[in-house]
Structure 1
């Protein structure tokens, strides 16, 4: 591992850049760009060194056996060199788009590149993130109290919006989930019925229990190394009024962070939690800035601010093209960044979800397979997947900037997409 002084020396070139260049680096690496120049340089100098996606194997001190922290199952030991060990940790990214009736999440598995070790050989070709899960659920349908975390299949069978019976192998999982829910009828439904009769369907006490069940179930099922939670806003579309549903989602967001912080402090799980601002995701892809579909506007450099509806549609379209690209062969590599083209997990539900998204995005009215519920909303699924992909893009670009300096910005294929 390089000493702190050598790292500092490698980033001294930041002070020679103009403010516009510094802000562009911040945008491409997911770092806040507000503030005066000196403060931005200091922030970049610190944040750029904290990439979760190293381009080279990391050499870390071997922790003392008595004080060794809890290890994530994705962490792999390499060959020992004295009292130092090469540690390579594959990323398991759980990206959550906040909501009460429409909370969406995606799970990405990302092999970290490094030297080929016998214990973990990496393929010689480009390493693609694996889309392992992509779901939407209603938080209000999550059991209030459970003696143990639910499996992902049980959680989704209970909390999927507009759930329908499926005549497939998943029927048994759904039946087990329903049986589990009925077993906790006295603990769950009675308290919620009382709250509903009192006119308080959103009760912080009840939703705190749901937050705990949700987080424990997701961690148990997917074992994430990083959890990304969409940062909520208080106002929509620049309006002066604060909507009640916005407050509720914001309260639930805080509950998720509180549960995760408690688990971290109690050393129950070793993972990193990041709050991601949707505005920064849209800014990375330039979805919210200029009407790039109109070449006349782009040529005259006029900037037409997009409405929230335009931004939402832009994200849905971007994810639709991303999935289409990932499913096709021989697609030009410059269409998306190398990290964006995805591989897909083997779960049947995931394939159905991807196909249903693409069918609705393309305007097809093909009935969903296996009796699964149709997708009536695409924005929640699009937001959580794009959030995870963009955060990974930021981490890769941070490593490139540290390694190659300002020259790394010229190979940002996100810029290629935005300029077409």
Structure 2
């Protein structure tokens, strides 16, 4: 039995000061975006762990302000339509119909079906859709103080060529950064006018507001944090948490013992691969990573608890090394409304929804750790002034304000 380490009154006081500083430094809520063309998932998460909004957007669905379906095609759309008809010519379709047993399994028929059912990628239409999605995000909640994006890669698995989907997702990331820069500039001009008018009427209304920040987060860092994929396989292999990993999968998917179904066998092999030191971490595929991330979030959304869905994030994670540390605020609890839980259970793209939520929780933990390290460096000054939090808070606030000044997108 391990006894708790006694803390001095000064240490306890510093912990209280640290909690108050985190409450002032961390944003009220952030929006985490998992970039995709057909499935752009985003979540608004408060600093105490409440899921305020959660959605999946399709950037190829035309927005009301985009070109109507009966309008003439743009040159880009006309060129894609020409390439589509050339790839599936009349002669090839005629041959496929004449073959016995061809049906819908022929290559030409599969190409035709996929081309017809999938909307064409038009940069103008996608830009209009991005504008609508971002306005929905920024205007839907006044407490949003930050946007976290999934940083897109330029290559996939060390390939010399760039995949089409990778290129398009990178374009969308650039669109969001460009949209945000111009939106930030408009907000600064609007706030400047409001400040000038408000300062003449009421000093409280004339106070300047904190600007909203945006940053891209490497997906590999998020995967390492939660032990997902190749990095997670190395971490789990070193900790030998086979039983806990299998329990995590069983809890998330309701797999019972001695279940011989294909789903249970496949799930067990996935987690065996992720924790076995004999298997190469590269054997984990993209689908396996999605299963892992969805299993972690499912254990948060569907806890074995009757506290109206409010679950302690530390208790929900089966493996202790995959649980957030004290860098998170003490009142941080992942929770959502019953309506949102019901919507999540019926959503098909739960893997993308899980990715954006894991990214948001990891970001809050990283920022909490950064604040904690800054306070620890300021402990001598903090102790000399008798626990005054302003002494440690001022240098952190100055650094925060200087890093949040976005460059103006327009030349003044």
TM-score by length of 1: 0.51
CA distance in 2, matches of 1:205, 1:343: 38
Residue number in structure 1 paired with 2:172: 252
The residue matched to 2:149 in structure 1 has which SS?
A: strand
Give matches, 1:314-393, under 5 Å.
314-325=292-303, 333=314, 335=317, 336-337=323-324, 339=328, 342-346=333-337, 348=339, 350-354=340-344, 356=345, 374-393=346-365
Match status 1:404 vs 2:360:
no
2:29 to 89, 92, 96: 92
Distance 1:144 1:321, change over 3 A: same
Mark the CA change 1:347 to 1:197 in structure 2 (over 3 Å): closer, same or farther. Answer: farther
Native 8 Å contact 2:237 2:276 kept in 1: no
C-alpha separation in 2, matches of 1:101 and 1:190: 23
Q: How far apart are residue 265 of structure 1 and its match? A: 2.1
CA change 1:328–1:95 in 2 (3 A) is farther
> Among residues 69, 73, 86, which one is paired with 1:189 in the alignment?
69
Q: Match of 1:202, SS?
A: coil
Compute the RMSD of aligned alpha carbons.
Answer: 3.7
Between the aligned partners of 2:171 and 2:304, the Cα distance in structure 1 is 36
1:233 to partner: Cα distance: 1.2
Where 1:96 maps in the other structure, the secondary structure is: strand
Q: Which protein is richer in helix relative to its size?
A: 2
Task: Show the counterpart of 2:126.
Answer: 207
Residue 107 of structure 1 aligns with which residue? 44
1:122-133 pair list within 5 angstroms: 128-133=48-53
Separation of aligned partners in 1, 2:59 and 2:78: 19
Match of 1:221 in 2: 140
Q: Return 5+ residue gaps in structure 1 as ranges.
A: 1-53, 59-74, 76-86, 111-127, 147-186, 357-373, 408-420
Out of 44, 56, 60, the residue aligned to residue 20 of structure 2 is: 56
Contact 1:94–1:105 under 8 Å retained in 2: yes
**Which residue of structure 2 aligns with residue 395 of structure 1?**
367
CA distance in 2: counterparts of 1:142 and 1:89, whole angstroms? 36
CA distance in 2, matches of 1:332, 1:204: 40
Compare the two structures and name the one with the higher strand fraction. Answer: 1
C-alpha separation in 2, matches of 1:294 and 1:232: 28
| 1:325–1:331 contact (8 Å) kept in structure 2 | no
- Cα deviation for residue 401 of structure 1 reads 1.7
CA distance in 2, matches of 1:98, 1:133: 16
CA shift in 2, pair 1:142/1:295, >3 Å: same
Q: Which structure would you say has the larger Rg? A: 2
Q: Summarize deviations over 1:51-75 as a string: whole Å, max 9, x none.
A: xxx74349xxxxxxxxxxxxxxxx9
- Partner SS for 2:80: coil
2: CA distance between counterparts of 1:272 and 1:205?
26
SS at match of 1:199: helix
3-state SS of the aligned residue for 1:189?
Answer: coil
| 239-248 or 274-283, larger mean C-alpha shift | 239-248
